A and B are shown apart, each in its own frame.
Chain A
């Protein structure tokens, strides 16, 4: 019997998650709680209910089937999330797709049968499979089986990670990973704890060990205005990256507020409402700071 994992989406024709045309497999569950997270539904390591009010026609089918009687119609179909047991009955019934359960138990075979369908597009484009999330390293046995299955089919593999896992976990699967997309959020540990909920010590140590072990790594810095795009953080990040063996470049990715609707769909407050996406000149300025320490910078 092969491993089961908790997956919340499989996205085809991904062209921003590594080289070529890729299929991205999104893992449910993350040990970080970054305030800017653009997949907040992926944070809990159990299924969660999304409700998109703009798709709801107030037909009431969900309220009829909810075994907890947790749904009331009142201009929108509100769910009492305290009594909701995320059984998924309402999502199953909602024909308009306003209700959706994020996170579904999936077998290695099920994931692979989806992934292999797009093989004709991986070959020519230099693409393959990306494991993202959520945090894929949070389900290491499931991830390892998937990586081995990809290797057996000669598929290029990318793991998109926050870097937060024990070194033993990373070490056990790194030889099956063709490229790590490794997030570097901020260097100051206090601020890291404040904005992501966890210390960066283990993450930085893992990044150093992974680079020393010779793994292929692309480091990504998400630029969050006023939080980590200051000169101090970017210079410290740049110097840390320069100190790593075999790494001479970094990618920066501008914050976007696409996720606000998801927070609403989850019944959560979005703490970064006041932020707006950095414009081209701000991205250029940040890139310049990283270039000053001798790094090649790609803006994506």
Chain B
């Protein structure tokens, strides 16, 4: 594995695909993966929280790097989740882009396994398409999702209602957007599972929706 990472997966795309698609990932309410996150969080928290800083105060942990994930990623080598060296890390406490494949409730349950109450704040991004919110049911679902997350002691969640440009990017680079859900006529599905023509159709419709 170390050799694979040192070489940035060069020449072994099959192994990279295995790591990308066939290993448990944080963000799917899978305890095996989520408990690894908890371990990393705990050791980070315990090493920093309460330490004296240079001004006589104490350090505390916030889990909200905002856009630093791009920079941090640019100086981080290949990682054993299948990520190439230099590519962005995940945003805040959000799952790695495209790794969450079981919908938003599974995401917030995974994230809530981190003891957020002890931090100064967290940042969770979610992407929705306009169609997922164009009905009373859709809006109610969003409200109850947020309420459920806060009942689980979540601290912060924000939603990107995805526009046509993003959908075009998803069409060109599906591996980055595996978790993107679109709603079409009384039924929702993963955007990347649809045929190219249907993706085109939804892109067109989304543009018309004016988001």
Q: Does B152 contact A (CB under 8 A)?
A: yes
Q: Decide: B138 and A15 in contact? CB cutoff 8 A.
A: yes
Q: Which residues of B contact A264 (CB under 8 A)?
A: 195
Q: Which residues of A contact B188 (CB under 8 A)?
A: 14-16
User: What bracket does the count of chain B residues touching chain A fall in?
Assistant: 35 or more
Shortest Cβ distance from A71 into chain B, in angstroms?
Answer: 16
Q: Which of A86-134 contact B (CB under 8 A)?
A: 95-97, 117-118, 120-121, 124-125, 127
Nearest residue (CB) in B for A251 is B186
Complex alpha-carbon distance, A209 and B181, angstroms: 38
Complex alpha-carbon distance, A13 and B197, angstroms: 26
A20 in contact with B140 given A95-B17, A254-B186 (CB within 8 Å) = yes
Stretch of A27-35, A54-62, A169-177 with 4 or more beta carbons under 8 angstroms from chain B: A54-62
Stretch of A150-158, A187-195, A255-263 with 4 or more beta carbons under 8 angstroms from chain B: A255-263
Q: Decide: A124 and B144 in contact? CB cutoff 8 A.
A: yes
Q: Decide: B105 and A118 in contact? CB cutoff 8 A.
A: yes
Q: Which of A21-70 contact B (CB under 8 A)?
A: 21, 38, 52, 54-55, 57, 59, 61
Taking a contact as CB atoms closer than 8 A, the residue among B13, B132, B140 that contacts A57 in the complex is: B13
Q: Does B189 contact A (CB under 8 A)?
A: yes
Chain A CB count within 10 A is highest, among B22, B103, B105, for B105
Q: Which of B132-166 contact A (CB under 8 A)?
A: 132, 135, 137-138, 140-141, 144-145, 147-148, 151-152
Complex alpha-carbon distance, A44 and B78, angstroms: 43
Q: Does B123 contact A (CB under 8 A)?
A: no
A256 in contact with B185 given A12-B106, A13-B141, A261-B198 (CB within 8 Å) = yes
Q: Decide: A61 and B14 in contact? CB cutoff 8 A.
A: yes
Q: Does A11 contact B (CB under 8 A)?
A: yes
Q: Which residues of B contact A15 (CB under 8 A)?
A: 132, 137-138, 140-141, 188
Q: Decide: A96 and B184 in contact? CB cutoff 8 A.
A: no
Complex alpha-carbon distance, A261 and B174, angstroms: 16
Give B185-199 as 1s and 0s: 1 = Cβ < 8 Å from A's Cβ atoms.
111110001111110
Shortest Cβ distance from A38 into chain B, in angstroms?
Answer: 7
Q: Decide: A261 and B194 in contact? CB cutoff 8 A.
A: yes
Q: Which residues of B contact A96 (CB under 8 A)?
A: 17, 21
Chain B CB count within 10 A is highest, among A14, A120, A277, for A120
Q: Which residues of B contact A125 (CB under 8 A)?
A: 140-141, 144, 148
Shortest Cβ distance from A166 into chain B, in angstroms?
Answer: 29
Q: Does B87 contact A (CB under 8 A)?
A: no
Nearest residue (CB) in A for B178 is A97
Taking a contact as CB atoms closer than 8 A, the residue among B106, B147, B195 that contacts A261 in the complex is: B195
Give B96-111 as 1s and 0s: 1 = Cβ < 8 Å from A's Cβ atoms.
0000001111100100
Nearest residue (CB) in A for B189 is A258
Q: Does B207 contact A (CB under 8 A)?
A: no
Q: Decide: B103 and A12 in contact? CB cutoff 8 A.
A: yes
Q: Does A271 contact B (CB under 8 A)?
A: no
Complex alpha-carbon distance, A278 and B148, angstroms: 36
Q: Does A227 contact B (CB under 8 A)?
A: no
Q: Does B18 contact A (CB under 8 A)?
A: yes
Q: Which of A259-300 contact B (CB under 8 A)?
A: 260-261, 264, 277, 300
Q: Which residues of B contact A12 (CB under 8 A)?
A: 102-103, 105-106
Chain B CB count within 10 A is highest, among A13, A124, A256, for A13
Shortest Cβ distance from A270 into chain B, in angstroms?
Answer: 11
Q: Does A73 contact B (CB under 8 A)?
A: no
Shortest Cβ distance from A183 into chain B, in angstroms?
Answer: 12
Nearest residue (CB) in A for B194 is A261
Nearest residue (CB) in A for B28 is A12
Q: Which residues of A contact B106 (CB under 8 A)?
A: 12-13, 117-118
Taking a contact as CB atoms closer than 8 A, the residue among B22, B135, B141, B186 that contacts A21 in the complex is: B141
Q: Top 4 nearest A-B pairs by Cβ distance?
A: A261-B195, A95-B17, A125-B144, A13-B103
A15-B140, A54-B195, A261-B198 known, 12 other contacts, Cβ within 8 Å: A13-B145, A16-B187, A21-B141, A59-B14, A95-B18, A95-B22, A97-B21, A117-B29, A120-B148, A125-B141, A258-B185, A258-B198
Can you list 24 contacts pairing A with B, beta carbon distance less than 8 Å? A12-B103, A13-B103, A13-B106, A15-B137, A15-B141, A16-B183, A20-B140, A21-B105, A21-B141, A57-B17, A59-B17, A96-B21, A97-B21, A118-B105, A118-B109, A125-B140, A127-B144, A253-B185, A258-B184, A261-B194, A261-B198, A277-B185, A300-B135, A300-B186
